[in-house]
Structure 1
Amino acid sequence: MLRSIRWPLGVLAVLTVVWVLVALNAPKEIDWAPTYRNDYKNPLDTYALFRLLPTTAGSAVNTTRQSPYEVLEDSTDAPATYFFLSNGFRPGPADARALHRYMRRGGTVWVAASSIELPDGQDSLWQLPSLDPLGYLGLRPTDTFTFRLTAPLLRSRQARMPGRANYDFFDRDSLGQLVFATGPDSTQPLRGAVVLASDHEQHPVLVRLPMGRGQLLWCSAPYLLSNYGVLHRQNARFAAGMLSYLPAGPLLWDEFYKQGRGGDDSSLRVVMNSPALRWAWYTLLLGGLLFALLGARRRQRPVPTIRPLPNTSLLFARTVAGLYRRGRNHQPLAALRIRLFFDYLRTRFQEPVPASIDADYPRRLSLRTGIPQPEVTTLLARLHGYLDAEFVAETELHELQRLLDAFRKRAES
């Protein structure tokens, strides 16, 4: 039987090996998720831009994994460029206020995101233009988008991107001015706002907004700076033209909103970063362990072992017998033994003892026990003799016990 299934098993094994080899050598599916991380090489990440940025911008690039509030609140350095590149920019209240103060005192913030969601009460501080999604243009995913820089010296630099990744653009009013939303149903222009790049329909995608002594550079098409956007055809020149608007000076690249806080993410990171707190934590753990092993036992007296009660019937009988045997007269013990004998006759033969034994009692007892009436009469007479006696010797007590045992044996047989 094994020989008959040997060749099907061999074919199955060969097919399994072939399937495993094909699966291992099959090309991996391209991940088009817009994460924009600087350590990933997927199309919509920023591995290429992050490594080309020092040469393109001509300044040092430092990466931060801390929130803008932590970076800027205690910073005394000269204002630099804070670079944000993500699919959506959603700063918290503290981060939004810190960035606004940073721009007001002369700093530059570059935000490349398709949307910015500010916390409540921050819209009037930032004064951002309104956005419209690309879907309103009625374009198909197969269409090619063309982007141009508006500066005369950079107008020749163009970027052509297929419609794989959608983007947003800034609104204009009927006069061609950017529309800034100041409330749910109100808009107003902002002086000093400049359009730096637009798409093929002249919709702005990169604008510069004055913020006090600083500025905000906002690009609504972040995928232009992704790996795919920079390396596709001749788009690197267009990306370099966009980055040429960055002011001279150091550049701070944010990864906090994409990769989270750097280092240990556990709740004990503050404790572990301080030697004193770390040793205090270890001491606490050791003390708790010692308490659990040594001090958490039940603090009470040992539970006593309850032994079963002994059978004291024999001891009781021996004690009572000793009371009756005090002295040389055994008449009370003989009377007690006779009363127990009469109780035996009552319970065993249902023959109660009358107040006065008449001539009919021996006859009834003889019929019930099977012992001849004369012997019964003689036994009863001797018992009455023991009851009426004033003194009973030990030998007479043993004789009484012999008579009663003999009668019981004959009555039970």
Structure 2
Amino acid sequence: MKNSTAYVLFIVLLLGIALWSQVSRPRRFVWMPTYSHYDTQPFGCAVFDSVLSFSLPQGYEVINKPLFVLGREDTARVRNVLVVSNGVELGKNERDTLFRMLERGAKVMLVATWIDSDLEDTLGVHFAMQEFSDVVSEGTELLPPCDTLCWAGGAGGYPERRFTVRSDFMDDGVYMTDVCMPDGWEEYWTKPGHFTRRVWAWQHAWMPGDTSRVRPVAVSFPVGKGELFWVQTPRLFTNYGILDDDHRAYVFRLLNLLKDAPVVRTEVYGDSYEEFIATYDSHGPFDYVLSQPPLRWAFYVVLVTLAFFFCFTARRRQRPVPLLPSPANKSLEFVKLIGTLYFQRETPTELVRKKWLYFADEVQRHTGIDLRDQATAQERASRLSEKTGMAQEDLLPLLTRLDEVLGESARRPDNEEMKRLVDRMNDVLRRL
């Protein structure tokens, strides 16, 4: 194997090992609630939205519009609204729009730890919130690792069921500010000036030394033709909750209450996913780069460019081979030079002899007649006449005179005769 090939293979192997180690290493989870449609972390909603889009019979859509815009759009149709956030703060116009949508028959489910105080006063409820951290915070260290989430028997057509949920995934529940809570959570309670309400699920409010109290975590308020739901477990309406078997059953029991119309989830009231990305605590050299699609593709392009650079520069550099002109044919010039030399030395006899040698070779090569044999000039002229078609009477004088010149005859040819003999031999060669 050449050194250059080994070098290229070594570089490619190193790049492959680096990419494999980066891709195959365990992914670090970030336990920060964003409820974003684009967040694939445990407390994002990318998987949650994907599952609901195939599960709800009337359709499911994620939008980024506030309630007052949805209220204007839904004057001729009814859509149920889902909001998932840590908290929901509504202005006066949005609250008015919310109740108009409910009067027309829409169902709105606010899945949030808290809602604004004006809406609380209107509904006659109050929330109790505990701090939530990535895993366990100082406020939850006194709580048991898991708590019990209870579904009211008969609510929504489902039997009573107990769900095991981490205590730090839930808050202290909802206080009913205007009534004392009796047993039997499936009943309705009323008080003048407030809405009828119903409890769908509750939790045991654990306090040091007292485990008998309970707090609702999912309540609803019928308004006109519609119904307003407040669910205080937003961290279960996430990728984490939808992928856990026990939590998924609880989530779908609540979402089943919205199945009679198309459901839209608005992200206007959720936490900013961009802020989450900006505060992402990276623990690896390429975590942030690979988390951003533009930077990730730029990094891949750089790696491919480096690979091509190594492949092309590793080859042995070669000097360009110069293109030399083909050598000129000097044979004709050489013949002319020799002929000139013989002519200048005034030796026509030698020129005739040289021409004879060439003439005899060409005749033998084309006709097979050897003019150098001992046959007479008559015989040779006869055979040459048969091959060339020339008259024997024209060939005999030529061959006879050439024999005299070759035989050192006393009558040597002059320049004129030399030219005449050469021309006659050329005539014969042209007939071959």
Q: Please report the TM-score for the alignment, with normalisation by the length of structure 1.
A: 0.49
Q: Please report the TM-score for the alignment, with normalisation by the length of structure 2.
A: 0.47
